[in-house]
Protein backbone atom coordinates (compact mmCIF):
# COMPACT_ATOMS: atom_id res chain seq x y z
CA UNK A 1 0.00 0.00 0.00
CA UNK A 2 1.44 3.34 -1.04
CA UNK A 3 1.92 5.09 2.28
CA UNK A 4 3.39 8.18 0.63
CA UNK A 5 -0.18 9.40 0.88
CA UNK A 6 -1.30 7.82 4.16
CA UNK A 7 -0.67 10.52 6.74
CA UNK A 8 -1.82 13.24 4.37
CA UNK A 9 -4.83 11.13 3.55
CA UNK A 10 -5.86 10.98 7.19
CA UNK A 11 -5.31 14.69 7.64
CA UNK A 12 -7.65 15.29 4.74
CA UNK A 13 -10.20 12.82 6.00
CA UNK A 14 -10.31 14.28 9.48
CA UNK A 15 -9.48 17.95 8.97
CA UNK A 16 -10.53 18.83 5.47
CA UNK A 17 -13.20 16.51 4.18
CA UNK A 18 -16.64 16.80 5.70
CA UNK A 19 -18.24 13.40 5.38
CA UNK A 20 -21.49 14.36 7.09
CA UNK A 21 -24.66 14.30 5.03
CA UNK A 22 -27.62 16.63 5.02
CA UNK A 23 -30.97 16.84 3.29
CA UNK A 24 -31.78 19.64 0.92
CA UNK A 25 -33.96 22.19 2.66
CA UNK A 26 -37.34 23.01 1.17
CA UNK A 27 -38.06 19.69 -0.48
CA UNK A 28 -41.31 20.26 -2.41
CA UNK A 29 -43.27 18.80 -5.29
CA UNK A 30 -42.42 20.46 -8.59
CA UNK A 31 -43.25 19.61 -12.16
CA UNK A 32 -41.46 16.37 -12.95
CA UNK A 33 -40.73 17.67 -16.45
CA UNK A 34 -38.93 20.73 -15.17
CA UNK A 35 -35.42 20.94 -16.60
CA UNK A 36 -32.46 22.83 -15.26
CA UNK A 37 -32.43 25.08 -18.33
CA UNK A 38 -35.97 26.25 -17.44
CA UNK A 39 -34.98 27.45 -13.97
CA UNK A 40 -34.48 31.20 -13.75
CA UNK A 41 -31.15 32.19 -12.20
CA UNK A 42 -29.30 35.41 -11.57
CA UNK A 43 -26.19 36.37 -13.48
CA UNK A 44 -23.24 34.18 -12.59
CA UNK A 45 -25.50 31.45 -11.19
CA UNK A 46 -26.56 28.09 -12.61
CA UNK A 47 -29.15 25.50 -11.54
CA UNK A 48 -28.80 21.84 -10.73
CA UNK A 49 -31.99 19.77 -10.78
CA UNK A 50 -31.88 16.33 -9.17
CA UNK A 51 -34.44 13.92 -10.66
CA UNK A 52 -35.26 10.84 -8.60
CA UNK A 53 -36.02 9.18 -11.92
CA UNK A 54 -38.95 6.89 -11.20
CA UNK A 55 -42.70 7.21 -11.52
CA UNK A 56 -44.41 8.94 -8.63
CA UNK A 57 -41.20 10.18 -7.05
CA UNK A 58 -41.19 13.43 -5.17
CA UNK A 59 -39.15 16.02 -7.04
CA UNK A 60 -36.66 18.23 -5.26
CA UNK A 61 -36.09 21.96 -5.33
CA UNK A 62 -33.35 23.04 -7.72
CA UNK A 63 -29.98 23.84 -6.22
CA UNK A 64 -28.62 27.23 -7.29
CA UNK A 65 -24.84 27.53 -7.27
CA UNK A 66 -22.16 29.82 -8.65
CA UNK A 67 -21.12 29.04 -12.19
CA UNK A 68 -18.00 26.83 -12.23
CA UNK A 69 -18.56 25.87 -8.59
CA UNK A 70 -17.68 22.42 -7.27
CA UNK A 71 -20.78 21.22 -5.44
CA UNK A 72 -20.11 19.83 -1.98
CA UNK A 73 -21.86 16.94 -0.23
CA UNK A 74 -23.93 19.28 1.91
CA UNK A 75 -26.01 20.20 -1.17
CA UNK A 76 -26.61 16.65 -2.39
CA UNK A 77 -30.08 15.25 -1.61
CA UNK A 78 -30.20 11.99 0.31
CA UNK A 79 -32.74 9.87 -1.53
CA UNK A 80 -34.16 6.38 -1.08
CA UNK A 81 -36.51 4.07 -2.90
CA UNK A 82 -38.17 1.06 -1.33
CA UNK A 83 -36.66 -2.18 -2.58
CA UNK A 84 -33.76 -0.51 -4.39
CA UNK A 85 -30.27 0.75 -3.62
CA UNK A 86 -29.21 4.22 -4.72
CA UNK A 87 -26.32 3.92 -7.20
CA UNK A 88 -25.32 7.49 -7.99
CA UNK A 89 -26.27 10.58 -10.00
CA UNK A 90 -25.90 10.56 -13.78
CA UNK A 91 -26.23 13.07 -16.58
CA UNK A 92 -28.36 10.60 -18.57
CA UNK A 93 -31.68 9.03 -17.58
CA UNK A 94 -30.47 5.61 -18.72
CA UNK A 95 -26.67 5.59 -18.56
CA UNK A 96 -24.78 3.12 -20.72
CA UNK A 97 -22.91 0.25 -19.10
CA UNK A 98 -19.48 -1.08 -20.05
CA UNK A 99 -16.52 -2.75 -18.31
CA UNK A 100 -18.22 -2.93 -14.93
CA UNK A 101 -19.13 0.76 -14.85
CA UNK A 102 -21.99 2.99 -15.92
CA UNK A 103 -21.01 5.96 -18.06
CA UNK A 104 -21.87 9.61 -17.43
CA UNK A 105 -21.76 9.47 -13.64
CA UNK A 106 -21.56 12.87 -11.98
CA UNK A 107 -19.54 13.05 -8.77
CA UNK A 108 -19.74 15.75 -6.11
CA UNK A 109 -16.78 17.34 -4.36
CA UNK A 110 -13.09 17.29 -5.13
CA UNK A 111 -11.46 14.05 -6.13
CA UNK A 112 -8.39 14.60 -4.01
CA UNK A 113 -8.57 15.48 -0.36
CA UNK A 114 -7.98 19.07 0.62
CA UNK A 115 -4.92 18.25 2.69
CA UNK A 116 -3.77 15.35 0.54
CA UNK A 117 -0.49 14.99 -1.24
CA UNK A 118 -0.03 16.52 -4.68
CA UNK A 119 -2.19 14.47 -7.07
CA UNK A 120 -0.44 12.44 -9.74
CA UNK A 121 -0.06 14.19 -13.05
CA UNK A 122 -2.58 12.66 -15.41
CA UNK A 123 -5.46 13.60 -17.64
CA UNK A 124 -8.14 12.62 -15.16
CA UNK A 125 -10.36 15.41 -13.76
CA UNK A 126 -9.99 16.27 -10.08
CA UNK A 127 -13.51 17.72 -9.82
CA UNK A 128 -16.71 18.13 -11.79
CA UNK A 129 -17.54 21.85 -11.64
CA UNK A 130 -20.98 23.04 -12.72
CA UNK A 131 -20.23 25.05 -15.85
CA UNK A 132 -23.87 25.34 -16.93
CA UNK A 133 -27.31 24.41 -15.62
CA UNK A 134 -27.41 20.67 -15.21
CA UNK A 135 -29.98 17.86 -14.91
CA UNK A 136 -28.93 14.86 -12.86
CA UNK A 137 -30.79 11.55 -12.70
CA UNK A 138 -30.68 8.96 -9.93
CA UNK A 139 -29.74 5.43 -10.89
CA UNK A 140 -31.46 2.74 -8.84
CA UNK A 141 -29.95 -0.71 -8.48
CA UNK A 142 -32.47 -3.53 -8.27
CA UNK A 143 -31.52 -6.42 -6.00
CA UNK A 144 -29.58 -9.04 -7.95
CA UNK A 145 -29.91 -12.55 -6.53
CA UNK A 146 -26.69 -14.54 -6.10
CA UNK A 147 -27.24 -18.28 -5.93
CA UNK A 148 -24.01 -19.78 -7.33
CA UNK A 149 -20.31 -19.06 -7.71
CA UNK A 150 -20.59 -17.71 -11.26
CA UNK A 151 -23.20 -15.20 -10.06
CA UNK A 152 -20.83 -13.97 -7.37
CA UNK A 153 -18.05 -13.62 -9.92
CA UNK A 154 -20.31 -11.30 -11.96
CA UNK A 155 -20.66 -8.77 -9.12
CA UNK A 156 -17.62 -7.06 -10.62
CA UNK A 157 -19.77 -6.13 -13.63
CA UNK A 158 -21.58 -3.43 -11.64
CA UNK A 159 -19.54 -2.17 -8.71
CA UNK A 160 -22.36 0.11 -7.52
CA UNK A 161 -24.98 -2.64 -7.59
CA UNK A 162 -27.20 -4.24 -4.95
CA UNK A 163 -26.58 -7.95 -4.35
CA UNK A 164 -28.33 -10.51 -2.16
CA UNK A 165 -27.21 -14.08 -1.63
CA UNK A 166 -30.07 -16.56 -1.90
CA UNK A 167 -27.99 -19.67 -1.24
CA UNK A 168 -24.64 -20.77 0.16
CA UNK A 169 -21.77 -20.30 -2.32
CA UNK A 170 -18.85 -22.68 -2.91
CA UNK A 171 -15.85 -20.97 -4.54
CA UNK A 172 -13.57 -24.01 -4.59
CA UNK A 173 -13.69 -24.09 -8.41
CA UNK A 174 -11.57 -20.90 -8.35
CA UNK A 175 -7.97 -21.91 -7.57
CA UNK A 176 -7.04 -18.29 -6.91
CA UNK A 177 -9.95 -15.90 -6.45
CA UNK A 178 -9.74 -12.59 -8.31
CA UNK A 179 -11.02 -9.87 -5.95
CA UNK A 180 -14.18 -7.97 -6.79
CA UNK A 181 -13.08 -4.47 -7.77
CA UNK A 182 -9.55 -3.13 -7.77
CA UNK A 183 -7.40 -1.48 -5.13
CA UNK A 184 -5.53 1.52 -6.58
CA UNK A 185 -2.73 3.32 -4.72
CA UNK A 186 -4.44 6.69 -5.28
CA UNK A 187 -7.40 5.56 -3.18
CA UNK A 188 -5.51 6.59 -0.05
CA UNK A 189 -5.80 10.24 -1.04
CA UNK A 190 -9.06 10.13 -3.00
CA UNK A 191 -12.57 10.74 -1.72
CA UNK A 192 -14.51 7.46 -1.91
CA UNK A 193 -17.22 8.74 -4.27
CA UNK A 194 -14.48 8.80 -6.93
CA UNK A 195 -13.62 5.12 -6.55
CA UNK A 196 -14.91 3.97 -9.92
CA UNK A 197 -12.93 0.71 -9.70
CA UNK A 198 -13.81 -0.02 -6.08
CA UNK A 199 -17.07 -1.46 -4.77
CA UNK A 200 -19.57 1.26 -3.82
CA UNK A 201 -22.77 -0.73 -3.64
CA UNK A 202 -24.56 -3.06 -1.20
CA UNK A 203 -23.58 -6.68 -0.65
CA UNK A 204 -26.05 -8.58 1.56
CA UNK A 205 -25.14 -12.16 2.38
CA UNK A 206 -28.66 -12.66 3.72
CA UNK A 207 -27.35 -15.06 6.38
CA UNK A 208 -25.64 -17.37 3.90
CA UNK A 209 -22.06 -18.57 3.86
CA UNK A 210 -19.25 -18.61 1.31
CA UNK A 211 -16.87 -21.55 1.41
CA UNK A 212 -13.81 -22.51 -0.62
CA UNK A 213 -12.29 -19.02 -0.87
CA UNK A 214 -8.65 -19.53 -1.90
CA UNK A 215 -6.17 -16.70 -2.42
CA UNK A 216 -2.64 -17.55 -3.53
CA UNK A 217 0.33 -15.15 -3.63
CA UNK A 218 -1.78 -12.17 -2.52
CA UNK A 219 -1.20 -8.57 -3.52
CA UNK A 220 -2.72 -5.30 -2.29
CA UNK A 221 -6.45 -5.78 -2.02
CA UNK A 222 -6.43 -9.59 -2.23
CA UNK A 223 -9.73 -10.49 -0.56
CA UNK A 224 -13.29 -11.33 -1.56
CA UNK A 225 -13.68 -7.59 -2.29
CA UNK A 226 -10.53 -5.58 -3.04
CA UNK A 227 -11.65 -2.08 -2.09
CA UNK A 228 -14.90 -0.44 -0.98
CA UNK A 229 -15.84 3.22 -0.74
CA UNK A 230 -18.89 4.08 1.37
CA UNK A 231 -20.23 0.59 0.69
CA UNK A 232 -22.38 -1.74 2.77
CA UNK A 233 -21.22 -5.33 3.29
CA UNK A 234 -23.35 -7.37 5.67
CA UNK A 235 -24.83 -10.67 6.81
CA UNK A 236 -22.27 -13.02 5.29
CA UNK A 237 -20.04 -15.80 6.64
CA UNK A 238 -16.79 -16.79 4.93
CA UNK A 239 -15.92 -20.26 6.15
CA UNK A 240 -12.65 -22.18 5.84
CA UNK A 241 -10.86 -19.66 3.65
CA UNK A 242 -7.18 -20.08 2.78
CA UNK A 243 -4.70 -17.30 2.01
CA UNK A 244 -1.20 -18.58 1.27
CA UNK A 245 1.95 -18.13 -0.75
CA UNK A 246 4.29 -15.18 -1.06
CA UNK A 247 4.46 -11.57 -2.14
CA UNK A 248 7.40 -9.46 -3.24
CA UNK A 249 5.62 -6.18 -2.58
CA UNK A 250 3.59 -4.48 0.14
CA UNK A 251 0.38 -6.38 0.70
CA UNK A 252 -3.02 -5.83 2.28
CA UNK A 253 -4.87 -9.14 2.40
CA UNK A 254 -7.70 -10.77 4.33
CA UNK A 255 -10.82 -12.81 3.57
CA UNK A 256 -13.51 -10.10 3.29
CA UNK A 257 -12.37 -6.57 2.37
CA UNK A 258 -8.88 -5.43 1.39
CA UNK A 259 -9.30 -1.70 1.98
CA UNK A 260 -12.29 0.47 2.86
CA UNK A 261 -12.78 4.22 3.15
CA UNK A 262 -15.59 6.60 4.02
CA UNK A 263 -17.76 7.43 6.99
CA UNK A 264 -20.75 5.74 5.32
CA UNK A 265 -18.89 2.43 5.10
CA UNK A 266 -20.74 -0.32 6.99
CA UNK A 267 -19.45 -3.83 7.68
CA UNK A 268 -22.06 -5.63 9.73
CA UNK A 269 -22.81 -9.20 10.82
CA UNK A 270 -19.86 -10.61 8.88
CA UNK A 271 -18.04 -13.69 10.16
CA UNK A 272 -14.92 -15.49 8.99
CA UNK A 273 -12.91 -18.60 9.80
CA UNK A 274 -9.78 -19.84 8.10
CA UNK A 275 -6.00 -19.66 7.80
CA UNK A 276 -3.41 -17.23 6.49
CA UNK A 277 0.15 -18.45 5.88
CA UNK A 278 2.06 -15.76 4.07
CA UNK A 279 5.64 -14.81 3.28
CA UNK A 280 6.51 -11.28 2.20
CA UNK A 281 9.98 -11.07 0.70
CA UNK A 282 10.62 -7.53 -0.52
CA UNK A 283 14.18 -6.67 -1.49
CA UNK A 284 13.48 -3.42 -3.38
CA UNK A 285 11.36 -0.95 -1.43
CA UNK A 286 12.76 1.21 1.34
CA UNK A 287 9.44 0.97 3.16
CA UNK A 288 7.11 -2.03 3.11
CA UNK A 289 3.47 -1.83 4.25
CA UNK A 290 1.38 -4.79 5.25
CA UNK A 291 -2.12 -5.29 6.59
CA UNK A 292 -3.01 -8.91 7.35
CA UNK A 293 -6.18 -9.77 9.25
CA UNK A 294 -9.13 -12.09 9.67
CA UNK A 295 -11.76 -9.71 8.25
CA UNK A 296 -10.64 -6.42 6.67
CA UNK A 297 -7.00 -5.45 6.15
CA UNK A 298 -7.57 -1.70 6.44
CA UNK A 299 -10.62 0.48 6.90
CA UNK A 300 -10.61 4.23 7.41
CA UNK A 301 -13.94 5.61 8.53
CA UNK A 302 -17.32 3.98 8.96
CA UNK A 303 -18.58 1.25 11.27
CA UNK A 304 -17.66 -2.40 11.84
CA UNK A 305 -20.14 -4.08 14.15
CA UNK A 306 -21.41 -7.50 15.19
CA UNK A 307 -18.59 -9.28 13.34
CA UNK A 308 -16.29 -12.15 14.28
CA UNK A 309 -13.08 -13.79 13.09
CA UNK A 310 -11.52 -17.09 14.08
CA UNK A 311 -8.46 -18.88 12.75
CA UNK A 312 -4.71 -18.48 12.39
CA UNK A 313 -2.37 -15.92 10.86
CA UNK A 314 1.26 -16.76 10.19
CA UNK A 315 3.30 -14.00 8.56
CA UNK A 316 7.01 -14.08 7.75
CA UNK A 317 8.08 -10.66 6.49
CA UNK A 318 11.55 -9.85 5.14
CA UNK A 319 12.38 -6.25 4.24
CA UNK A 320 15.55 -4.37 3.23
CA UNK A 321 15.02 -1.48 5.64
CA UNK A 322 11.74 -0.30 7.17
CA UNK A 323 8.16 -1.45 7.43
CA UNK A 324 4.78 -0.64 8.93
CA UNK A 325 2.86 -3.83 9.64
CA UNK A 326 -0.71 -3.94 10.98
CA UNK A 327 -2.09 -7.31 12.00
CA UNK A 328 -5.26 -8.10 13.94
CA UNK A 329 -8.33 -10.25 14.16
CA UNK A 330 -10.91 -7.83 12.74
CA UNK A 331 -8.98 -4.92 11.21
CA UNK A 332 -5.41 -3.95 10.43
CA UNK A 333 -5.00 -0.19 10.22
CA UNK A 334 -8.41 1.01 11.35
CA UNK A 335 -10.00 4.39 11.90
CA UNK A 336 -13.45 2.92 12.35
CA UNK A 337 -16.07 2.65 15.03
CA UNK A 338 -15.72 -1.05 15.93
CA UNK A 339 -18.49 -2.47 18.14
CA UNK A 340 -19.73 -5.83 19.41
CA UNK A 341 -17.08 -7.93 17.70
CA UNK A 342 -15.43 -11.20 18.76
CA UNK A 343 -12.15 -12.78 17.71
CA UNK A 344 -10.33 -16.01 18.46
CA UNK A 345 -7.10 -15.80 16.50
CA UNK A 346 -3.67 -17.36 16.88
CA UNK A 347 -1.20 -14.92 15.34
CA UNK A 348 2.50 -15.53 14.67
CA UNK A 349 4.58 -12.72 13.15
CA UNK A 350 8.28 -12.79 12.26
CA UNK A 351 9.84 -9.67 10.77
CA UNK A 352 13.44 -9.52 9.54
CA UNK A 353 15.20 -6.39 8.32
CA UNK A 354 18.68 -6.61 6.90
CA UNK A 355 19.12 -2.88 7.63
CA UNK A 356 20.47 -2.10 4.17
CA UNK A 357 18.44 0.96 3.30
CA UNK A 358 17.60 1.65 -0.31
CA UNK A 359 17.57 5.30 0.71
CA UNK A 360 20.25 7.03 2.77
CA UNK A 361 18.24 7.12 6.01
CA UNK A 362 17.09 4.39 8.33
CA UNK A 363 13.35 3.70 8.25
CA UNK A 364 11.44 2.46 11.26
CA UNK A 365 10.46 -1.20 11.34
CA UNK A 366 7.23 -1.19 13.33
CA UNK A 367 4.73 -3.94 14.06
CA UNK A 368 1.24 -3.17 15.41
CA UNK A 369 -0.60 -6.32 16.41
CA UNK A 370 -3.74 -6.76 18.48
CA UNK A 371 -6.29 -9.44 19.18
CA UNK A 372 -8.95 -7.17 17.67
CA UNK A 373 -7.07 -4.57 15.59
CA UNK A 374 -3.49 -3.68 14.73
CA UNK A 375 -4.10 0.07 15.01
CA UNK A 376 -7.41 1.63 16.03
CA UNK A 377 -9.35 4.66 17.11
CA UNK A 378 -12.61 3.38 18.65
CA UNK A 379 -13.13 -0.22 19.80
CA UNK A 380 -16.02 -0.88 22.18
CA UNK A 381 -17.85 -3.87 23.61
CA UNK A 382 -15.57 -6.45 22.01
CA UNK A 383 -14.00 -9.72 23.16
CA UNK A 384 -10.67 -11.06 21.91
CA UNK A 385 -9.31 -14.54 22.54
CA UNK A 386 -6.30 -16.45 21.27
CA UNK A 387 -2.59 -15.72 21.16
CA UNK A 388 -0.02 -13.34 19.70
CA UNK A 389 3.59 -14.44 19.12
CA UNK A 390 5.83 -11.78 17.55
CA UNK A 391 9.49 -11.19 16.77
CA UNK A 392 11.51 -8.46 15.03
CA UNK A 393 15.11 -8.99 14.03
CA UNK A 394 16.89 -5.84 12.87
CA UNK A 395 20.64 -5.51 13.17
CA UNK A 396 20.67 -1.71 13.36
CA UNK A 397 18.28 1.19 13.17
CA UNK A 398 14.90 1.73 14.82
CA UNK A 399 12.28 -0.95 15.35
CA UNK A 400 9.35 -1.49 17.69
CA UNK A 401 6.75 -4.07 18.64
CA UNK A 402 3.38 -2.70 19.73
CA UNK A 403 1.24 -5.58 20.98
CA UNK A 404 -2.05 -5.43 22.86
CA UNK A 405 -4.77 -7.86 23.82
CA UNK A 406 -7.33 -5.67 22.04
CA UNK A 407 -5.32 -3.12 20.01
CA UNK A 408 -1.65 -2.91 19.07
CA UNK A 409 -1.62 0.88 18.97
CA UNK A 410 -4.38 3.32 19.92
CA UNK A 411 -4.11 6.24 17.52
CA UNK A 412 -6.68 8.46 19.32
CA UNK A 413 -10.15 8.29 20.96
CA UNK A 414 -11.51 5.44 23.10
CA UNK A 415 -10.91 1.73 23.73
CA UNK A 416 -13.79 0.91 26.05
CA UNK A 417 -15.77 -1.99 27.59
CA UNK A 418 -13.70 -4.88 26.22
CA UNK A 419 -12.49 -8.31 27.33
CA UNK A 420 -9.05 -9.66 26.42
CA UNK A 421 -8.17 -13.32 26.83
CA UNK A 422 -5.15 -13.07 24.54
CA UNK A 423 -1.76 -14.47 25.56
CA UNK A 424 1.08 -12.34 24.19
CA UNK A 425 4.64 -13.63 23.66
CA UNK A 426 7.57 -11.51 22.50
CA UNK A 427 10.49 -13.58 21.23
CA UNK A 428 12.80 -10.82 19.94
CA UNK A 429 12.67 -7.07 19.43
CA UNK A 430 14.74 -4.01 20.30
CA UNK A 431 11.87 -1.94 21.63
CA UNK A 432 8.71 -3.54 23.02
CA UNK A 433 5.44 -1.92 24.07
CA UNK A 434 2.98 -4.52 25.32
CA UNK A 435 -0.28 -4.11 27.22
CA UNK A 436 -3.21 -6.23 28.29
CA UNK A 437 -5.59 -3.93 26.39
CA UNK A 438 -3.42 -1.59 24.26
CA UNK A 439 0.22 -1.93 23.30
CA UNK A 440 0.95 1.78 22.97
CA UNK A 441 -0.49 5.20 22.29
CA UNK A 442 0.53 7.18 19.24
CA UNK A 443 1.69 10.66 20.20
CA UNK A 444 3.18 11.44 16.79
CA UNK A 445 1.46 12.14 13.49
CA UNK A 446 -1.65 10.05 14.12
CA UNK A 447 -2.15 11.38 17.63
CA UNK A 448 -1.75 14.87 16.21
CA UNK A 449 -4.43 14.13 13.61
CA UNK A 450 -6.83 13.23 16.40
CA UNK A 451 -5.99 16.31 18.43
CA UNK A 452 -6.27 18.60 15.43
CA UNK A 453 -9.74 17.20 14.71
CA UNK A 454 -10.84 17.87 18.29
CA UNK A 455 -10.34 14.41 19.81
CA UNK A 456 -8.07 15.14 22.75
CA UNK A 457 -9.38 12.72 25.39
CA UNK A 458 -7.88 9.28 24.83
CA UNK A 459 -9.28 6.56 27.08
CA UNK A 460 -8.71 2.95 27.98
CA UNK A 461 -11.82 2.34 30.03
CA UNK A 462 -13.57 -0.61 31.64
CA UNK A 463 -11.86 -3.83 30.60
CA UNK A 464 -11.27 -7.34 31.87
CA UNK A 465 -7.81 -8.72 31.07
CA UNK A 466 -7.30 -12.46 31.49
CA UNK A 467 -4.41 -13.03 29.08
CA UNK A 468 -0.70 -13.08 29.85
CA UNK A 469 2.36 -11.26 28.53
CA UNK A 470 5.61 -13.21 28.26
CA UNK A 471 8.90 -11.61 27.23
CA UNK A 472 11.87 -13.73 26.20
CA UNK A 473 14.67 -12.60 28.52
CA UNK A 474 17.53 -14.19 26.56
CA UNK A 475 18.06 -11.35 24.11
CA UNK A 476 19.27 -7.77 24.56
CA UNK A 477 16.91 -4.85 23.96
CA UNK A 478 16.85 -1.09 24.12
CA UNK A 479 13.53 -0.63 25.92
CA UNK A 480 10.71 -2.78 27.18
CA UNK A 481 7.50 -1.45 28.69
CA UNK A 482 4.70 -3.75 29.80
CA UNK A 483 1.47 -2.97 31.63
CA UNK A 484 -1.89 -4.55 32.49
CA UNK A 485 -3.77 -1.88 30.51
CA UNK A 486 -1.13 -0.21 28.30
CA UNK A 487 2.65 -0.22 28.19
CA UNK A 488 2.82 3.47 29.05
CA UNK A 489 0.42 6.38 29.42
CA UNK A 490 2.02 9.52 27.97
CA UNK A 491 2.41 12.33 30.44
CA UNK A 492 1.61 15.78 29.16
CA UNK A 493 2.28 16.78 25.59
CA UNK A 494 4.85 14.59 23.84
CA UNK A 495 4.42 16.27 20.48
CA UNK A 496 5.72 19.84 20.63
CA UNK A 497 4.34 20.55 17.14
CA UNK A 498 0.86 20.64 18.67
CA UNK A 499 1.78 23.79 20.58
CA UNK A 500 1.83 25.56 17.25
CA UNK A 501 -1.86 24.78 16.72
CA UNK A 502 -3.55 24.14 20.08
CA UNK A 503 -3.86 25.97 23.36
CA UNK A 504 -2.43 24.39 26.49
CA UNK A 505 -5.86 23.30 27.75
CA UNK A 506 -6.63 21.62 24.40
CA UNK A 507 -3.68 19.26 24.48
CA UNK A 508 -4.33 15.49 24.39
CA UNK A 509 -4.82 13.60 27.63
CA UNK A 510 -4.45 9.86 28.21
CA UNK A 511 -6.61 8.16 30.80
CA UNK A 512 -6.98 4.64 32.18
CA UNK A 513 -9.92 3.62 34.35
CA UNK A 514 -11.74 0.46 35.35
CA UNK A 515 -9.22 -2.08 34.00
CA UNK A 516 -9.38 -5.36 35.90
CA UNK A 517 -6.62 -7.98 35.63
CA UNK A 518 -5.35 -11.08 37.40
CA UNK A 519 -2.38 -10.42 39.64
CA UNK A 520 -1.21 -13.99 39.10
CA UNK A 521 -0.67 -13.13 35.45
CA UNK A 522 1.02 -9.73 35.60
CA UNK A 523 2.67 -9.40 39.01
CA UNK A 524 2.51 -5.61 38.78
CA UNK A 525 1.85 -3.04 41.38
CA UNK A 526 -1.45 -1.35 40.69
CA UNK A 527 -1.22 1.70 38.49
CA UNK A 528 -3.90 4.34 38.40
CA UNK A 529 -7.16 3.03 36.97
CA UNK A 530 -6.26 -0.68 37.22
CA UNK A 531 -7.42 -3.30 39.73
CA UNK A 532 -5.62 -6.57 40.47
CA UNK A 533 -7.44 -9.72 41.59
CA UNK A 534 -5.94 -13.01 42.69
CA UNK A 535 -8.44 -15.41 41.14
CA UNK A 536 -10.85 -15.55 38.25
CA UNK A 537 -13.52 -16.52 40.78
CA UNK A 538 -13.19 -13.02 42.23
CA UNK A 539 -14.55 -11.56 38.99
CA UNK A 540 -17.84 -13.46 38.77
CA UNK A 541 -21.33 -12.12 39.31
CA UNK A 542 -21.76 -8.50 40.35
CA UNK A 543 -18.42 -8.17 42.13
CA UNK A 544 -17.03 -5.81 39.49
CA UNK A 545 -20.12 -3.67 38.95
CA UNK A 546 -18.77 -0.73 40.93
CA UNK A 547 -15.68 -0.75 38.70
CA UNK A 548 -17.05 -1.62 35.26
CA UNK A 549 -20.35 0.25 35.51
CA UNK A 550 -23.72 -0.23 33.82
CA UNK A 551 -22.56 -1.09 30.29
CA UNK A 552 -21.99 -4.68 31.32
CA UNK A 553 -24.25 -7.67 31.99
CA UNK A 554 -23.76 -9.45 35.33
CA UNK A 555 -24.85 -13.04 36.04
CA UNK A 556 -24.14 -15.32 38.97
CA UNK A 557 -21.12 -17.59 38.53
CA UNK A 558 -20.22 -15.98 35.21
CA UNK A 559 -17.82 -13.33 34.01
CA UNK A 560 -19.43 -9.96 33.22
CA UNK A 561 -19.91 -9.33 29.52
CA UNK A 562 -20.19 -6.01 27.64
CA UNK A 563 -23.71 -4.93 26.74
CA UNK A 564 -24.36 -5.04 23.00
CA UNK A 565 -24.47 -1.58 21.41
CA UNK A 566 -27.57 -1.25 19.26
**For the chain, which domains are there?**
154-562 (2.160.20.110)
Higher pLDDT, 221 or 1: 221
pLDDT of residue 5: 32
- Between vectors from CA 254 to CA 253 and to CA 260, what angle results, nearest 5°? 80
Q: 338 with 376: CB under 8 angstroms? A: yes
Cα–Cα nearest to 305, from 356, 267, 275: 267
Q: CA-CA distances (angstroms) from residue 425 to 309, 325, 349, 389, 422?
A: 21, 17, 11, 5, 10
Q: 264 with 303: CB under 8 angstroms? A: no
Cα–Cα nearest to 327, from 404, 395, 380, 262: 404
pLDDT over 70 (residue 299): yes
Q: How far apart are CA 438 and CA 456, in angstroms?
A: 17
Q: How far apart are CA 146 and CA 124, in angstroms?
A: 34
DSSP states along 368-401: EEESSEEEESEEES-EEEEEEEEEEEESSS-EEE
pLDDT over 80 (residue 287): yes
Q: Residue 446's pLDDT band (boundaries 50, 70, 90)?
A: confident
Tens of pLDDT, residues 513-566: 999 998 766 556 667 899 999 899 999 999 999 999 999 999 999 999 999 998
Q: Residue 450's pLDDT band (boundaries 50, 70, 90)?
A: confident
The stretch 484-501 carries a mean pLDDT of: 75
Higher pLDDT, 15 or 123: 123
First to last CA, the chain: 34
Tens of pLDDT, residues 315-356: 999 988 889 999 999 999 999 999 999 999 999 999 998 766
Lowest mean pLDDT among 189-203, 400-414, 451-465, 513-527: 513-527
Q: Residue 414's pLDDT band (boundaries 50, 70, 90)?
A: very high
List beta partners, residue 180.
225
pLDDT of residue 98: 80
Amino acid sequence: MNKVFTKNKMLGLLLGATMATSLLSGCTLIDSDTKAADVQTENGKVAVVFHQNYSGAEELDPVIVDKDAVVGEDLIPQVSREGYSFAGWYTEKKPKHSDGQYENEWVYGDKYLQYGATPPEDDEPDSMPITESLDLYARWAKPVEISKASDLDKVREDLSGYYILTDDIDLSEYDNWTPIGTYLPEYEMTNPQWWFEGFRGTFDGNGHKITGLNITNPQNGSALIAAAGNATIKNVTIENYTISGSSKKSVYTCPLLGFGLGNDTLIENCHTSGTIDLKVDNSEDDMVYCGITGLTAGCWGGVIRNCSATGTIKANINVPNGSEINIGGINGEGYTQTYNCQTDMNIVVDVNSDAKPVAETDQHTDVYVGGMQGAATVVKNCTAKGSIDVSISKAKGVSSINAGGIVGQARYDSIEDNISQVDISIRDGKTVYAGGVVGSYNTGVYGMIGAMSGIVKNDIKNAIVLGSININDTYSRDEILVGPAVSKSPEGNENPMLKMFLSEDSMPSYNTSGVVYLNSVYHFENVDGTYAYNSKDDLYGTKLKDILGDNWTYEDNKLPTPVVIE
